Amino acid sequence: MNIYLQTLKRDLNIAIHNPSSVLNSLLFFVISVSLFPLAISPEATTLAQIAGGIIWVSSMLCVLLSLNTLFYHDFENGMLEQMLISHHSLPLLILSKIAAHWILTGIPIILLSPLLGLFLFLDNEGIKILMFTLLLATPSLSLIGAIGASLIIGIKNAGMLLSLLILPLYIPVLIFASSAVSQASVGLDVNAQLYFLSAILVLSLMLAPFVSSMALKISLE
């Protein structure tokens, strides 16, 4: 397990020494949420009804923006090729990198969401469910995004291609998560949505590292 923990620690250290890649996506998240009241309406009732959707769309785009750096540094310095030919499990190495990506992107989103929810006049129950859906589903965003990032490795200026590959796969997460927040705000039961998000997380955790490893092997051949 030491090599996988070292991989996680190494990615975190790279982000600490090069924080712009992480901070840019988080600033985009905050700014995009802040622009919706200006574009739609400053009324509290209107914003409260769509707050979950606003924060979730911005969260998806924030994660998508940060995916370009998931394998970039390892590809540039040749570490990715060493990972492929090593005797260590490539899916577990990829899972370590995905975990680092979620720590750097998903956790800040979860911590910022209550403040942004208050900014959009979301009630306490809605904020609680919002944080819970983010905790359940942001790992799925990183896991699914890793598949797309592994497919475009080595392709220059592939941001648009990555969006086309990944955004359709994010739609079920967006539907269930934003629906849970909206229904919680009006006092309706949200167990069904949370079960679906949990199922997506389990499936992503089981499949994404293996699919990403196969995609990396194909991309680097």
Q: Determine the Cα–Cα distance for residues 68 and 51; give it in Å rounded to an integer.
A: 27
**If you search the block for the tokens 């590959």, which residue do you land on?**
165
- Both tokens of 126, joined, read 């809605």
- Both tokens of 90, joined, read 């490539």
Number of domains in the chain: 1
Are the C-beta atoms of residues 141 and 60 closer than 8 Å to each other? yes
- Both tokens of 188, joined, read 């309706």
Could you list the pLDDT tens digit for every one of the 221 residues in the chain? Answer: 688 888 888 888 888 888 877 888 899 999 999 998 888 888 888 888 899 999 999 999 999 988 887 887 788 777 788 888 888 888 999 999 999 999 999 999 999 999 999 999 898 999 999 999 999 999 999 999 999 888 888 776 667 788 888 999 999 999 999 999 999 988 889 999 999 999 999 999 999 999 999 988 887 76
CB atoms within 10 A of CB 96: 21
Q: What is the pLDDT of residue 61?
A: 92
Domain limits at 159?
2-219
pTM above 0.85, yes or no: yes
